[in-house]
Amino acid sequence: MPRFYIPPHAWNLDQLALDPGETHHALDVLRMKAGDRATVFNGHGAEATVELATVDKGKIALRKISASKSAPLACALTLGQAIPKGKNMDLIVEKATELGAAGIVPLLSERTVVRAEHEEALAKRDKWQRVAVEAAKQCGQNWVPEVAKPQTPKDFFQSGEKFDLMLIASLQPDSLKLKQVLAELGPKKLARVLVLVGPEGDFTPAEINLAKNAGCRPITLGPIILRTETAAIYCLSVLSHELFG
């Protein structure tokens, strides 16, 4: 069944309605008609099966058939990602959504080529949030990660967000294997975990020291130097395997 997104502020099980963009997709792209069924979700775990009750003048009336609520994953993973060149950030956001990330923080590191002033930063955030929504629609994920405004590592750490475990992928010789870090924690249940992934060429030594002083543990991703988008997928995949069980 096709899946459509209804943002949380517009979620009302007694009056479900698609916004103009989703309506266009349903009617003009998928050629849906009255009587067809679809799934709608709000990105915060709620989902409903609906029927297109009526279609008139480009507007759709939805009739709820059933509704359910998905629990969030056992651990909320946040990816702090140095923004790469080109469209690779779109790929990272898409794959992070598929792998169950709860939050994505685009980072403007010293070696990040991409720069953004306030208005442009907000526009980029909105674009990447739409990428996350589209990925959730495709993969059946009812929880959409929140994409933050692009910011420097210093600004991020000064925001005071709290995590049970903070990690930074690093090429430095003091980096530990992730399994070793988790083993040191023992059976402690982790509710919120942060992992930072740097740009091509890694974070600068000053940025790594900043992260370590904020409580981040440096971790190695193995003997092969990975591209930043591969590193992000690797980190989230391994953490998902270790923490979502």
What sign does the dihedral 8-94-97-171 (CA atoms) show? Answer: negative
Question: Which band of pLDDT confidence, cut at 50, 70 and 90, is reported for residue 59?
Answer: confident
**Stretch 170-176: mean pLDDT, rounded?**
88
Boundaries of every domain in the chain: 3-69, 76-243
Q: Residue written as tokens 């000053």? A: 206
Answer whether 3-69 and 76-243 agree in fold.
no
Q: What is the CATH T-level fold of the domain 76-243, as seen in this structure? A: Alpha/beta knot (3.40.1280)
Nearest to 94 by CA among 132, 38, 120: 132
pLDDT band at 148, cuts 50/70/90? very high
Q: What is the pLDDT of residue 203?
A: 92
pLDDT digits (tens, 9 = 90+) for 1-48: 999 999 999 999 999 999 999 999 999 999 999 999 999 999 999 999
**pTM of model > 0.95:** no
98-130 pLDDT, tens per residue? 999 999 999 999 887 676 676 788 899 999 999
User: Buried b / exposed e across 82-99, counting CB within 10 Å, b at 16+?
Assistant: bbbeeebbbebbbbbbbb
Tell me the CATH number of domain 3-69, given options 3.30.70.2340, 2.40.240.20, 3.40.630.40, 3.60.20.10: 2.40.240.20
Instruction: Give the model's confidence band at 245: pLDDT under 50 very low, under 70 low, under 90 confident, else very high.
Output: low
State the chain's mean pLDDT as an integer. 92
Residue 121's contacts (CB-CB under 8 Å, 6 or more residues apart) are 149, 150, 151
